[in-house]
Amino acid sequence: MTSELLQRYRQLRDDVDRQAERLAAMYAGQMHCRPKCTDCCINLTVWPVEFYAILEDIKAAGIRPVFDPQAGCGFLKDGLCRLYPFRPLICRTHGLPLVYLDDLQDEPTYGVTFCEKNFPAADAICFDADNTLNMDAVNERLAHLQAEFSSAGGLAGSEPNGRIALSRLIDFVQGTG
């Protein structure tokens, strides 16, 4: 069962990639995200379903990642991601116009966020469902996958919030995790 859930995570990852490619093409002249731009890159935690899918993928590819704990993200080398084809969902959405529901106000509204280097004329853009990525929908799908993964006996995360530091990939690849 967990294998099928990891495959469903990969489908979510593919769906996010398709949406990201569409938005990147739509905003090609306004997005300044390029290789070696690492402003958004940080050491992070992921849900176990995502962690184990990434782990399986890097093992299948024969990759033995190296982690530099001094870097903003330890998987960067010379400004490039050593896990790029397998990177987490959040990394796949950096820079894009992302919409989130802000339900902390009296009347729930949607807010759009993106890298401050992108969209210099953001005031002139009418962001809507057709030209943004709905991160609430992505996160909801991921949360459902994680709940199913946990119920199916998938390993839990070691962080207090149930997540796993992505840096732990090194331990698992080396067989010490």
Give the tens place of pLDDT for each residue, 61-98.
999 899 999 889 999 999 999 999 999 999 999 999 99
d(CA 146, CA 65): 24
pLDDT on residue 158: 65
Give the H/E segment covering residue 112.
strand 109-113
Q: Which amino acid is at 114?
A: F
Range of 30-34, 77-81, 100-104, 116-120 with top mean pLDDT: 77-81
147 vs 175, higher pLDDT: 147
5 vs 154, higher pLDDT: 5
pLDDT grade for 1, boundaries at 50, 70 and 90: low
Span 48-52, mean pLDDT?
96
Report the predicted TM-score, pTM, of the whole model to 2 decimal places.
0.90
Nearest to 162 by CA among 49, 77, 64: 49
For 144, the token pair is 């459902």
Span 111-126, mean pLDDT?
83
pLDDT on residue 126: 84
| CB distance 42 to 73 below 8 Å | yes
15: CB partners within 8 A, 6+ apart: none
- Round the average pLDDT of the chain to a whole number and report it: 89
156 vs 3, higher pLDDT: 3
d(CA 74, CA 47): 18
* pLDDT at residue 7 greater than cutoff 90: yes
Provide the CA 127 distance to its chain's centre, in angstroms: 21
